[in-house]
Amino acid sequence: MRIVFIGPPGAGKGTQAEKIIAKYATAHLSTGDMLRAARDAQTEVGVKAEKYMSSGQLVPDDILIAMISERLQQADCQAGYLLDGFPRTIAQAEALDEMLEQNNTPLDVVLELQVPEDELFKRLAGRGRADDKPEVIRERLVAYTKQTSPLLEYYSGKGLLQSVNGLGSVEEIFAQIETQLDCYK
């Protein structure tokens, strides 16, 4: 299965992503994790990305598109993957479509995890990551609303969007995700 996982920061994507890859045995492509690893290793990409990440802004599209394009060619992606945190802009989504069209490997489904904004703020403020300071959280939520939420319409127009309510216990939420994903197995 080829899955895109979309949701605002703090929606619980990371927790659910772990459960999805455990059950459906797909590669987990988290661009946030990839960028944090690059930053910690002080690679050229990591150094460039750091100033955007620490202020809650999106890292430029060309960096992300090159990163994912390379990653999708690796062997563990051939049987399917969960894209977690990518695409986050329309330009990224269009670039992804182009890559997938060239290889004749269309997406199966785009899963959206829905959580209201006041709940996101509460969760993020309790998490303690470096980019979880209140002013940075606000920026990340603004980036989601402005740049990423247009993807919901983009993918619903293609008939790919399935939305899941992200309020409730981890198990309750995962049960809804399973119901959706079991249609595509």
Q: List residues binding ligand AMP (CB under 6 A).
A: 9, 31-32, 35, 52-53, 56-59, 64, 85-86, 88, 92, 140
168, 119 Cβ separation under 8 angstroms: no
3-state helix, strand, coil in the chain (%, to 5): 60, 15, 30
Closest CB to ligand AMP among residues 41, 175: 41
Closest CB to ligand AMP among residues 117, 182: 117
Residue 161 forms beta bridges with which residues? 110
* Shortest Å, Cβ 55 to ligand AMP: 8
* Shortest Å, Cβ 43 to ligand AMP: 14
Closest CB to ligand AMP among residues 62, 153: 62
The dihedral through the CA atoms of 144, 147, 148, 152 has a sign that is: positive
* Shortest Å, Cβ 62 to ligand AMP: 10
The three-class DSSP label of residue 12 is: coil
Q: Which residue has the tokens 């829905």?
A: 114
Other beta carbons within 10 Å of 104: 6
Closest CB to ligand AMP among residues 9, 166: 9
